[in-house]
Chains A and B, each alone.
Chain A
Amino acid sequence: MFILETKPKEELEKLLKPGVCVIKCIGCREISLPEEKIEELLKNLELDAKDVLAVDYLCNADFTKSRLLKYKSEIDKCNSILVFSCGVGLQVLAGMLEEKSAVQGLNTIYISGRGLAPSDYDCDQCGECLLNLTGGICPVTQCSKGLLNGPCGGAKNGKCEISKDLDCAWEKIYKKLEASGRLDSYFRKMKVRDYSKALAKPKQPV
């Protein structure tokens, strides 16, 4: 799950050559596309929001192929393509337009988890789910340090050391385990994360 934010104008100015074609992916606009911010940015870049080609689901290679045909004339004549999409969308597009420089107008921000809309719960696909030991509260995503063996000493007033906006995950876990009489489950194992379960796997076939 991700959320999008516009890149600073200065960063884009340097990359755009006159004759810009703007493509906006509206597939995720119900969830993560900052449309007002994009409009503002276009205005600052002195580009006309009316000329924006709105397409949905750039990440769908089949659709993107047909869209590129549909907008062929616009794309052929432009010098740079400014894309507003998540990182995946631009990669798909750039893969089809290898000779053109496609400029990404957005930063894609990770918000973990894989629900559909952002939810209260996150999961980082650690490959060795620990929820059984932690009363259903994920230490990997909810603890700022991803600690698996209990709290660090950094919490103050129940809040994590890095932000007063964040509850200390381990205090929550403790409370939950205590309330459900499962504190013993915590002592069962000393956990060391096995990153090989989450990382550097052979690539999945495309």
Chain B
Amino acid sequence: MKLTELIKKKNFVVTSEIGPPKGWQVEHHLDEAKKYFAGIVDAVNVTDNQSSVMRFGSLATCHMLKDRGMEPVFQVTCRDRNRLALQSDILSAAGLGIENLLLLTGDHPKLGDHPGSKPVFDLDSVSLTHAVRQMESGVDLAGNKLDGDPPKFCKGAVVSPCAEPLEPQLMKMEKKINAGTEFFQTQAVYEPEKFARFMEKIKGWNVPVLVGIVILKSVGMAKFMNENVAGVFVPDPLIEELRKDKEKTKSGQTGVEIAARLIKEMKSMCQGVHIMPLGWDQHVPAILDAAGL
């Protein structure tokens, strides 16, 4: 089912995500996803060569999730495919019954495990969204007619509500909406006040937003994100909290508590939450539990 329809129905949706492995044996990962996500979250994102690291494909994983009764969100990046491959993959997704897309520009290959590869970026998130909308109207990006019925998707995109400066992000967000984006997932948020300000700014645009939550695994991770991850800032009190009880942090309990608290605080401001467990899938049910979802 399309996420936008779900949002209409439920008022608040919960999504999570999995990253396919660097290998072809995905069974184990799918079992885990089934165990922790099926019936618990509304939809599951599948990342596309996340962080520019080469992995098992996103499209195939989506298909396998669907087979196992979960609602996939197909992430598509512009890093490593040109407009032919992108549109072709998106048509394939339609053929496989995938309804939700998350259209991204993608990290630069220099950041990943094949730094020597040729960066593509033939399209970007905005033009890719535009291309999908074109296809939905029955023609491809170049204006050539598609055979048969046009595909129908729910098109998502991302935004960084805590980025400094925020204005360029808003500028692009508006552009994405103009190009056809129907919902947004955000980068990880640890500062509810900033998020509130962001939501205030975009009020008039009437577009559903799923706030991004990344489970904090350790003090090191928090610090690393502060140093290196764009648009993410973990405030000192949270880092203190992680530092205080090492055992509790290690077991994941602190991370779960923080995540649940953040969700509770921001729940009323937005239309959903997107949890990025980064391998800690097992903690997702606990978080939702603690957040009262």
Residues on A lying within 8 angstroms of B by beta carbon are 144-157, 161-162, 170-171, 173-174, 178, 183, 186-187, 190-193, 195
Contact = CB atoms under 8 A, between A and B. Distances in A.
A50 B123 CA distance: 52
B108 A149 contact: no
Given A171-B165, A183-B171, A193 B111 contact: no
Listed from nearest, the 5 A-B pairs whose CB atoms lie closest are: A150-B172, A149-B126, A174-B168, A152-B105, A145-B121
Interface of B: 83, 105-108, 110-111, 119, 121-127, 130-131, 141, 158-160, 163-165, 167-169, 171-172, 174-175, 178-179, 187, 228-231
15 contacts: A144-B108, A147-B124, A150-B124, A150-B172, A151-B172, A152-B124, A153-B158, A153-B163, A154-B230, A155-B163, A156-B231, A174-B168, A174-B171, A178-B167, A192-B130
A146 B105 CA distance: 11
A190 B133 CA distance: 13
Given A190-B179, A193-B122, A150 B107 contact: no
A173 B167 CA distance: 11
B186 to A, nearest CB: 10
Nearest to B105: A152
A187 to B, nearest CB: 7
Contacts of B167: 174, 178
Contacts of A148: 124, 127
A161 B125 CA distance: 17
Contact of A145 (B105, B126, B164): B105
Query: Which among B111, B121, B187 has the highest number of chain A CB atoms within 10 Å?
Result: B121
Contacts, number: 90
A162 B164 contact: no
A167 B119 CA distance: 19
B175 A149 contact: yes
Contacts of B160: 153
A188 to B, nearest CB: 11
A155 B230 contact: yes
A191 to B, nearest CB: 7
A111 to B, nearest CB: 17
Contacts of B163: 153, 155
Contact of B127 (A157, A173, A178, A191): A191
B155 to A, nearest CB: 14
B229 A145 contact: no
A11 to B, nearest CB: 17
A154 B126 contact: no
Contact of B228 (A149, A156, A187, A190): A156
B1 to A, nearest CB: 27
Nearest to A157: B164
A192 B165 contact: no
Contacts of B228: 156
A151 B127 contact: no
Contacts of B108: 144-145, 154, 161-162
Given A161-B107, A171-B165, A149 B124 contact: yes
Contacts of A144: 108, 110, 119
Nearest to B227: A156
Contacts of B119: 144-145
A151 B168 contact: yes
A20 B286 CA distance: 73
A156 B230 contact: yes
A156 B126 contact: no
A146 B174 CA distance: 20
Nearest to B129: A190
A151 B131 CA distance: 19
A83 to B, nearest CB: 26
B230 A153 contact: yes
B257 to A, nearest CB: 27
